[in-house]
Amino acid sequence: QVQLVESGGGSVQAGGSLRLTCVASGYSYSGYSMGWFRQAPPGKEREGVACIDRDGHTFYVDSVKGRFTISRDNAAKILYLQMNGLKPEDTALYYCAASTTGNFCAAVPGLYKNWGQGTQVTVSS
């Protein structure tokens, strides 16, 4: 059974940093692309933030380029999202997800088949 568990969210002031962690289990983690998504407010469509394919190639949405860094530890089955220079508009529930692909990634929700429960990030001005 595939399981993705996020942690690391919290409340910070604008300009601060957080590192999100997603621990994966129950599947061949290293063979698949992984992504981070966010949703705010509840009910709004999930927005792709960043993704990383099985070879380490990355993609970032324009709004986070230069501030966020996605990385993965295949041995430990962990996905990370380092978030620096946080802004109030980054406030959202952040999800990690496992893709159906491995040799490329795209921050498109429809390509992802398994999702974590989310971790809340709140940035105050």
Is the backbone peptide bond immediately before 41 cis, with ω within 30 degrees of 0?
yes
Q: What is the three-class DSSP state of 14?
A: coil
Instruction: Give the CA distances from residue 21 to residues 39, 43, 69, 82, 121, in Å, rounded to whole numbers and listed in that order.
Output: 17, 23, 12, 9, 12
Q: Are 54 and 65 in contact (CB under 8 A)?
A: no
Q: Are 53 and 105 in contact (CB under 8 A)?
A: yes
Per-residue pLDDT of the chain (125 residues; tens, 9 = 90+): 889 999 999 999 999 999 999 999 988 888 899 999 999 988 899 999 999 999 999 999 999 999 999 999 999 999 999 999 999 999 999 999 999 888 889 999 999 999 999 999 999 99
